Amino acid sequence: MSDTNEKKLIFSGIQPTGTFTLGNYIGAIRNWGPLQDEYNCIYSIVDLHAITVRQEPAKLRQNTLQAYALILACGIDPEKSTAFIQSHNHNHAELSWILSCSTQFGELSRMTQFKDKSAKHADDINAGLFTYPVLMAADILAYNADLVPIGADQKQHLELARNIAGRFNQKYGEFFTMPEPFIPKTGARVMSLQDPSKKMSKSDENPNACVLILDDKDTIIRKFKRAVTDSEAEVCYREGKDGINNLMTIYSAVTGKSLEEITSEFSGKGYGDFKLAVGEAVADHLEPVRSKYEKLIADKAYLKECYTAGAEAASKITRKTLSKVYRKIGFVDIR
């Protein structure tokens, strides 16, 4: 048996709904690259998910290419991993239909992301927004993924994917692998810089609430300087200090320093010094990503070559899954 077959399989996805935030980066994508040697990794730009909220077609196309270039800039090596655009592999949508017949209306109604997004897009509570977690389950189960690297906000969706897999296995016999979440210890939930009780999100209307990974150094420093904190002047991680806790988490994630080390580094110093240090550390950390991105986005032919090969490799795996699923369900074989 080849080495490749012994490795566990990882799948994750990210929506092309805008430039990635520092939250997406720390909570998800930056963890993807280091997994490539130890696991078989499959990463997708999930454009089918993105259209659950209204998208302007030209902008979606641009965001999808940008997102693809960004994951490569963040360290995904298309020679080591399979990196593709979700709509290029039709098997995801097909399996999603099958799995929706093993999903209960009640369990979808309990999804907090559905509640949040339907409150935010009250004029367009479409069926796709409701069934979104079934498509996410299909993304994962189509590859029989063992591990799914995600931020903490996606844990509920992953639990649902496990329930759907379990129900299918119970009905038709053991088939799908039970996927496990892979959530980072530091930075699993990066909060908004303007309202630290809310998660940092690409779709936030307030541009000062989130740092984008393509923001330049001055912009990053300015956003951190304006970050909402408390009226004390003590840099320490404590309940009730959500703003400072968030900045400490971010600083720890980009410098590797522990919370204790950060507390002693800034003891006797004010929030101004601390915010500036966080801004500088984040900007320096993101600089190589930004310059790699600039090169990649200028080379559309290379990107096309990568996502075409990625889609072929991905489809090859999922075609097999789907034909086994069809047989299990009792569909008539055409061959």
Smaller CB distance to ligand ATP: residue 83 or 200? 200
Q: Whose Cβ is closer to ligand ATP: residue 98's or residue 204's?
A: 204
Cα–Cα nearest to 52, from 106, 16, 99, 12: 16
- Which lies closer to ligand ATP via its Cβ, residue 137 or residue 150? 150
Write down the residue that tokens 């999903």 correspond to.
Answer: 103
Pick from 176, 159, 134: which is nearest to 318 by CA? 176
Q: Which residue is nearest to ligand ATP (CB)?
A: 27
67 contributes a contact to ligand ATP by CB under 6 A? no
For the CB of residue 87, give the shortest distance to ligand LTN in the complex, in Å. 12
Q: Which stretch binds ligand ATP (CB under 6 A): 56-64, 186-194, 306-314, 318-326?
A: 186-194
When CB distances are held under 5 to 8 angstroms depending on the partner's kind, the choice from ligand ATP, ligand LTN, none that residue 98 binds is none
**Identified binder of ligand ATP from the candidate list 9, 28, 135, 253, rule CB under 6 A:** 28
* Tokens matching residue 320: 């097999």
Phi and psi angles of residue 308, each rounded to the nearest 5 degrees, phi first: -70, -45
Helix/strand/coil for 11: strand
Q: Does 83 bind ligand ATP (CB under 6 A)?
A: no
Q: Which is nearer to ligand LTN, 156 or 169 (CB)?
A: 156
For 305, other C-beta atoms within 10 Å of its C-beta total 12
Q: Catalytic residue at 117?
A: yes
User: What does 307-321 look like in DSSP terms, one character per residue?
Assistant: HHHHHHHHHHHHHHH
Q: Which of 285, 226, 219, 217 is nearest to 250 (CA)?
A: 285
Least distance (Å) between residue 259 CB and ligand ATP: 17
Angle between helices 127-141 and 155-172 (to 10 degrees): 70
Footprint on this chain of ligand LTN (rule: CB under 6 A): 11-15, 46, 49, 136, 139-140, 148, 150, 154, 157
Q: Per CB under 6 A, does 64 bind ligand ATP?
A: no
Catalytic pick among 7, 202, 217, 328? 202
Are 306 and 71 in contact, with CB atoms under 8 Å apart?
no
Total binding residues toward ligand ATP, as defined by CB under 6 A: 20
Active-site positions read: 117, 199, 202
